[in-house]
Amino acid sequence: MLSDVMEDYLKGIYELQREYGAPVKTSLIAESLDVTAPTVTSMMEKLEERGLVAREKYKGVELTEEGETVAVEIIRHHRLLEAFLVDHLDYEWTEVHEEADVLEHHISEEFEQRIAERLGDPAVDPHGDPIPEATLEPPAADETRPLADFPVGDHVVVARVRDRNEDELEYLAEAGIVPGRHLVIEEKAPIGMVTVSHEEGQQNLPDGVAETIRARVAEPDDRPDTRHVTES
Amino acid sequence: MLSDVMEDYLKGIYELQREYGAPVKTSLIAESLDVTAPTVTSMMEKLEERGLVAREKYKGVELTEEGETVAVEIIRHHRLLEAFLVDHLDYEWTEVHEEADVLEHHISEEFEQRIAERLGDPAVDPHGDPIPEATLEPPAADETRPLADFPVGDHVVVARVRDRNEDELEYLAEAGIVPGRHLVIEEKAPIGMVTVSHEEGQQNLPDGVAETIRARVAEPDDRPDTRHVTES
DNA sequence: GCGATTTTTTAGATGGCTCTAATTCATAAA
DNA sequence: TTTATGAATTAGAGCCATCTAAAAAATCGC
């Protein structure tokens, strides 16, 4: 009933709403989906007609409950697929995003249930992102923060390394920046760079990248792990 | 580059061409894809422009080599997916068709290779249909014939039970009409019905159904098997 | 072999998703 | 508080896959 394109808009709006709050502005949506602003406006009119977003002209949109449910379902599909590809088809966690981004729109309820079952209803995907429950309750806002936000000296655990292009993820994986990894914030250089360290050495990260890696403060019992980078 | 719709046309034309020979008429395509004739004509113009079909106006179309390769690829996807769903996600062979029909257009090369490998490069799918090779050579025309074509008294082995709606396949599975099954043609009634038998009893099949079940003459060493219907 | 019937194509329209160009609205700066 | 700037919307267009109605071509029956 809903086109894949509409599903992509809803997913995009959901994520922008989480990150920047509502209402979500036209220009943000346009940028995130790589379309022009008029395209977004006309799509918002359609989504509004269908009751999936609430719109205030010239201000922006917010997902309705129904729109949010659709978005959460697509995200559940995406993250289950990523987990499935890694666990059952030997994909590397760095290369699952594109495949999941397509398939998320095309798998049936049945397929979703079967892979969830086969995976044992995992709580997070290979990037560390939480997988929404089958009930499609929007997951609680998370307590992680971008790596760039922690002050020098903090000990943190990487929670998520966001879906982005494969080369970047591979580089980060190679450098040991993976979900679950224990890091120390070593330095924040005024040229827009963060330096972190772990058992295997130091790593410099441009601010833009450090913004998209989310972490939480290391608990007393978080032992620096010795997880190794996957051999490829 | 190619839309899913175009892929569906190519797949449909391929199958019609196998069944009835080339050129394939507009009306046949329209019926098999459940669209109107003008829709087919306009799609054929587009496929011709792209070099995927050769067209003779008012006569019909034939796939070019390139068009055939695309069709074979989609069919390979379809059948690998069906096999994967049955072998690795516990689907019944009667319920995989719809899922595969959607996903066949959306999986990557990578995904195709990985499921093929995981399955051990099977030669046939759960319906008994041959899975084209990764080289996408069009498979040799097969030597099976519709069940309806065998004379009374013949001993045959079911080769394929074609993709069609789930209820019908479930009924046939329940009745023991599954790929690999040894059958004897018992009677061909003038009311358009064929009667076949196997170890567990007799089964009447309307001609329309007997047309879509393909079989080959039982070889001397084909022992009537005792395969059981899957318990559900 | 010619008219009647069937099939195919042409013509013209619609809805979906996108664009560029022009206009309207909101906001930040003076 | 007025204006300049930037953001959003409207206007108008194009392409895709589809439709119905009308015209043209092929085929079938005598």
**Which candidate in B102, B104, B119 is best for mutational testing of the A interface (most A CBs within 10 A)?**
B102
Task: Mark residues 8-47 of chain A whose C-beta is closer than 7 A to nucleic acid strand C.
Answer: 34-36, 38-39, 42-43, 46
User: Nucleotides of chain C within 7 Å of a protein C-beta?
Assistant: 7-12, 16-22, 25-27
Quickly tell me which residue has 């088809």 as its tokens. Answer: A89
The answer to whether the beta carbon of residue B13 comes closer than 7 angstroms to any atom of strand C is no
**pTM of the shown model:** 0.86
CA–CA gap between residue A87 and residue B88 (Å, rounded): 13
Residues of A whose CB is below 8 A from B85 = 111
Inter-residue long-range contacts of B202-205, CB under 8 Å, 24+ positions, other chains counted: B203/B175, B203/B176, B203/B177, B205/B147, B205/B177
* A43 nearest nucleotide via C1' and CA: C17
Per CATH, the number for A145-222 is: 2.30.30.90
Close Cβ partners of A61 (under 8 Å, ≥ 6 residues apart): A13, A22, A23, A24, A29, A44, A47, A48, A53, A54, A55
Chain CA centroid to CA A206, Å: 19
Judge: B114–A91 Cβ closer than 8 Å, yes or no: yes
Whether the per-residue pLDDT at B225 is higher than 50: the answer is no
- Reading chain A (232 residues) residue by residue, the pLDDT tens digits are 899 999 999 999 999 999 899 899 999 999 999 999 999 999 999 999 999 999 999 999 999 999 999 999 999 999 999 999 999 999 998 889 999 999 999 999 999 999 999 999 999 999 888 999 999 999 887 778 889 889 999 999 898 888 667 888 888 888 889 888 999 999 998 888 999 999 988 999 998 889 889 998 887 655 554 444 443 3
CA–CA gap between residue A44 and residue A41 (Å, rounded): 5
At A226 the pLDDT is 43
Every domain range in chain B assigned CATH 1.10.10.10: 4-63
Q: What are the phi and psi torsion angles at A229 (to 5°)?
A: -65, 135
Mean pLDDT of B67-92: 97
At A223 the pLDDT is 53
CA–CA gap between residue A90 and residue A84 (Å, rounded): 9
Q: How confident is the model at residue B232 (pLDDT cuts 50, 70, 90)?
A: very low
Residues of B whose CB is below 8 A from A85 = 111
Q: How confident is the model at residue B221 (pLDDT cuts 50, 70, 90)?
A: low
How many H helices and E strands in chain B? Answer: 8, 8
The answer to whether the beta carbon of residue B49 comes closer than 7 angstroms to any atom of strand C is no
Whether the per-residue pLDDT at B30 is higher than 60: the answer is yes
At B227 the pLDDT is 42
Residue B42 CA distance to nucleotide C13 C1' (Å): 15
Q: How confident is the model at residue B127 (pLDDT cuts 50, 70, 90)?
A: confident
Fold for the domain defined by B4-63? Arc Repressor Mutant, subunit A (1.10.10)
Every domain range in chain A assigned CATH 2.30.30.90: 145-222
The answer to whether the beta carbon of residue B64 comes closer than 7 angstroms to any atom of strand C is no
Give strand ranges (E) for A57-180. Answer: 60-63, 145-146, 155-161
Quickly tell me which residue has 């924040």 as its tokens. Answer: A188
Q: Which of B55, B66, B71, B70 is nearest to B23 (CA)?
A: B55
Judge: B118–A89 Cβ closer than 8 Å, yes or no: yes
At B222 the pLDDT is 54
At A189 the pLDDT is 87
